[in-house]
Amino acid sequence: MKIFAAFGSVRVFSALAASLCLLTPGTGQAQQKVGAVNEPVVVELFTSQGCSSCPPADALLKQLAQRQDVLALAFHVDYWDYIGWKDIFASPAHTRRQKGYAHVGGRKMIYTPQMIVMGHQDVSGADAMGVADALSRHQSAPRPVALEVSRSGQRVTIALTPRVDLPDIPVTMQIVRYTPSQTVDITRGELAGHQLEYANIVDDLQQVGVWDGQEATEITIEIQGDQPAAFLVQQGPYGPVLAAARIE
């Protein structure tokens, strides 16, 4: 049975039962393979325009966003909005994601700026050397899931193949949409008077499927608009990232 679900700017076509069934990609159009060898290290920065310690981490993320071997994403949280300046990119969903990582990782507190590397390694966003060490570690580690992405117009076909035996934990498949760059003039709060440039600002993160991780599978989604997107494969909603790819 084919199930259709709409998620704002992303439409998903999938066959979901105990696991995802195979879907045949559309034919008759040239397809562009965009993810066969695209295995970036995922770096999530939890930041806020109300945090005086965050600009160095924001600048570091901007540098990382220019690298093809890194998928850098800025999640602006809302828990500093009360101190004089409301972060224009902040979302309660981003705060929930940070709390979810803390819960799974056994951490009792959340903070900014915090970077989460590949869904599980906690690094201070201001610790450039620590971030570099984390990147080096994960760049040399094989991905547990092989991820291949091909695009034909607005339709994107994503194939997943387990490379190792995965834990018996549902694997979530997520689409993230983000704005590559935006400059903000901050007029109140701890950073009043500063003009700051932000990179890869997350606008939306949607789960588009769940996979049992036991056998190869394939899904097809339709992406609207020109905004950049990426695909994340994650062990549970807040566990290790098993694979990721840009959809450009």
Pure H helices in the chain: 55-65, 92-105, 128-139
Say what the pTM is: 0.85
Spell out the CATH class of 3-22+31-247.
Answer: mainly beta
Q: What is the DSSP letter of 82?
A: G
Enumerate the domain spans of the chain. 3-22+31-247
Note down pLDDT in tens along the chain; length 248 residues.
Answer: 222 223 333 333 333 322 323 222 333 334 444 443 469 999 999 999 999 999 999 999 999 999 999 999 999 999 999 999 999 999 999 999 999 999 999 999 999 999 999 999 999 999 999 999 999 999 989 999 999 999 898 999 999 999 999 998 999 999 999 999 999 999 999 999 999 999 999 999 999 999 999 999 999 999 999 899 999 999 999 999 999 999 97
CB 79 within 8 A of CB 47: no
Q: Contact at 8 Å (CB) between 58 and 74?
A: yes
